Amino acid sequence: MTIWTFGLTLFGALTMSWLAERLRLPTVVGQIGAGIILGPAGFHLLSANHSLATWAEVGVLLLMFLAGIESDLGLLKRHARQAVTVALAGVVTPFVVFLVLGLILGMTDEKSLFWAVLFSATSVSITAQILTEYHQVKSDAGATILGAAVLDDILAILMWTVYQTVFGIGEETQRPLWFTILLMVMFLLVLVVILLYVLPKILPAIGRLSLPGAVLTFALVIVLLSATLSEKIGLSGAIVAFVVGVLFSRQKSAAAIEHGVTLIGQTVFIPIFFVNIGLKVTLVGQLANLPLIAILTIFAILTKFFGAYFGARLVKVPVRDARVVGVGMVSRGEIAIVIADLALSAHALSSGHYAMLTLVILLTTIFTPIALKSLLRK
């Protein structure tokens, strides 16, 4: 990434964030808007290249780490039953509806199943940013959303793995499905054990070093390396970064680490992540697809909202909180984009179909923070 690209990206994010605040919109909407305006859908000044994508990936990892370290582990445990119920309802509802919708619209079984998998995902990072912005991470609804969204992402990744195996897509089909799932579980168990029992002994020693910011640097190393390793076995780095954040929240130096990561993340990497989402949007050749885009967007919003809402009500979540949970689960964001990217790379998805689905994902991503802000202010 050139200095010009870096500077223009941050300037666009800053300008549009300011404009979003003036319009009383969440800043994330402005940052995504900056990507749309500066990218292929706008003035073609930026593109979603590999270098920018790398910075954006670091951004989502830091965002999820912050969501984890700001979470209350006890609160997450107390809302585990609600989170599991919401996650299952929030996955099953869009999966069934989009599978049937695809078949009704004349799609093949393979394409219909792809829609079902794609729209079953939930973007935990988008919602995490809104919950953080409005200080709702430690609320009952916030804990339920974060727990459910993480579970949704895990389920979406597992479904994509099954989809790859069944239809022979990509390189991951060379690895047996049971072995992939076993690797994911073992990785998470080892990571949790290390961070629970080894980390408390290492951090104090690092804190005594004369090097400035040694503890913060060490925390960043843990986040980046653990996320990278998880990606190698097919587990989302964003999920792992959240888990690392939750476990770091138990440490005495958690407040200082959170302050440092917030300063680095919110000023550089996280805005780049949201701008990069906007850069993936293209309007070329999509005019003819507008009716289908509208239909998919409406179904994407309604299936997640009502699935999560009724799941929350099933476990006695108050109506107001259930609405917040329902809206908070709507965004598809980065997990859906990753699945679409993988399908495109494996030639399981045409470029035109990819552009259409990206637009739908973006519309759900923009809808969520706007609707969620309205609910949280009531």
Contacts 24+ apart (CB under 8 A), 185-192: 187/229, 187/230, 187/233, 187/235, 188/235, 188/240, 188/243, 191/226, 191/240, 191/243, 191/244, 192/243, 192/247
pTM of the full structure: 0.84
Query: Rounded to whole angstroms, how far apart are CA atoms 27 and 230?
Result: 30
Cβ atoms of 118 and 339 within 8 Å: the answer is yes
Tell me which residue of 68, 156, 60, 172 sits closest to 114, measured CA to CA.
156
What is the distance between the alpha carbons of residues 378 and 371, in angstroms, rounded to a whole number? 11
What local confidence, expressed as pLDDT, does residue 73 receive? 76
Q: Which residues of the chain have pLDDT under 50?
A: 172-173
Q: Do residues 66 and 258 make contact, with C-beta atoms less than 8 angstroms apart?
A: yes
pLDDT at 340: 87
pLDDT at 231: 87
What pLDDT score was predicted for residue 178? 77
Q: Please tell me the predicted confidence (pLDDT) of residue 184.
A: 87
Check residue 171 and give its pLDDT: 54
User: End-to-end distance of the chain based on CA atoms, in angstroms?
Assistant: 42
Q: Render the burial of 8-22: b for 16+ CB within 10 Å, e for the rest.
A: bbbebbbebbeebee
